[in-house]
Amino acid sequence: MHKYVDRGIIKWAPFDALVGYSTLLNELRYKLGKKHKPVLSDDQYEELNRKLHFAFHHKIDIELEYFYDGYIKTSYGSIKKLDFIHKKIILSTFEKIDSNAILNIIF
């Protein structure tokens, strides 16, 4: 005799009664999760500047926390280039991050 194995929620996954309803819910969850950019003090900006130059000149791998589209994101790598004209930081992973969006640098 075979033992009954329930598939749980998987059996209801393909059911979408209202077309586009699930994408609308996902967009709403994304928008509701957004936060305002934290305000940094002058001392914090000076500390970030010091850490940034130290990591750039010594080619140290860093963890970079930055604000993007309402969320705090994290990137890893060493600083490949500092673009002063466009105010961007280019990491060894070729990721370009706006310098005004940086919140924290961790060695």
Asked if pLDDT for residue 48 goes beyond 80, the answer is yes
CA dihedral 48, 54, 57, 58 (to 10 degrees): -130
Mean local confidence (pLDDT), 70-96 = 96
Here the CATH number for the domain that contains residue 6 is 2.30.30.100
Mean local confidence (pLDDT), 88-107 = 96
Q: What is the pTM of this model?
A: 0.78
- Give the integer Cα–Cα distance in Å for 77 and 42: 26
pLDDT tens-digit series, residues 83-92:
999 999 999 9
Domain that holds residue 85: 1-107
The mean predicted confidence, pLDDT, of the chain is: 90
What is the reported pLDDT for 86? Answer: 96
* Overall domain count for the chain: 1
Asked if pLDDT for residue 70 goes beyond 70, the answer is yes
Dihedral over Cα of 82, 59, 74, 53: its sign:
negative
pLDDT bin (cut points 50, 70, 90) of residue 5 is confident
